[in-house]
Amino acid sequence: MTQDLSIVQLLINASWVVQAVVVLLMVMSVISWAAIFRKVFALKRVNTHNEAFEREFWSGSNLNDLYAAAAQSARHGGPMERIFASGMREYQKLRERRITDNGALLDGARRAMRASFQRELDTLEVNLSFLGTVGSVAPYVGLFGTVWGIMHAFTGLAALAQVTLATVAPGIAEALVATAIGLFAAIPAVVAYNRFAHDIDRVANQLETFMEEFSNILHRNLGNQSASGH
């Protein structure tokens, strides 16, 4: 009457469908944890670069010097630095074409920064949809394995003349393991998805604020140049 009801033994004795479901869920869990760790380090690196560049930007450094430094370290810099470089690059290109309309200069810089902002946001959101998918789908995949396992257990019990708790328990237990593993895969993915979505929204707000402030600085510089020209 003493049966080994450990999870490993239950999975070994489970039907091939339940085993396939469990393997799929474990693969999803491993991939989601890898995505979580990559995203944690990526967001930490983004915040570090943004804070460093923002301090440099507001320290009173010359915009041309900042642009030269940002252009050299574009690949290794942060999103804010690349957005600034995109705006300054477009601004200087329009100035080289001898465009004197202040509105056209500002609109060009804003469009370039907005395009760069969207690219940066797309990069930040990489793997986020996968975590959301794991969080929403994994419980149902586990539930499918549980339902199939219970059906398989009751089908096997139909041939028995006498059914006791000892004969029912292993089949039900191995079926419920699939649901447990589904929740094990889903819960961290949901928590990480919500946390990362909040962090990315905060970074996006920070970048949008910077773009507005930088646009205001360009506007003031153009106003000063127009006044000095007159």
Mean pLDDT for 26-31 is 95
pLDDT at residue 222 is higher than 80: no
> Up-side HSE of residue 141: CA atoms within 13 Å toward CB?
23
What residue segments make up the domains of the chain, in order of their start? 7-225
Structure confidence by residue, pLDDT tens digits, 130-158: 999 999 999 999 999 888 888 877 776 66
Structure tokens at 109: 């810089």
- pLDDT, position 17: 81
- pLDDT, position 41: 95
Mean pLDDT for 5-29 is 80
Whether the CB-CB separation of 218 and 91 falls below 8 Å is answered with yes
pLDDT at residue 199 is higher than 60: yes
Structure tokens at 227: 């006044």
How far is the CA of 60 from the CAs of 27, 47, 64, 74, in angstroms?
A: 51, 21, 12, 21
pLDDT at residue 208 is higher than 80: yes
Structure confidence by residue, pLDDT tens digits, 60-110: 878 888 888 888 877 788 999 999 999 999 988 988 887 777 888 899 999
- pLDDT, position 225: 65
Long-range contacts of 4-11 (CB under 8 A, 24+ apart): 5/169, 5/170, 5/173, 7/177, 10/170, 10/173, 10/174, 10/177, 11/174, 11/177
Whether the CB-CB separation of 76 and 110 falls below 8 Å is answered with no
Q: What is the pTM of this model?
A: 0.82
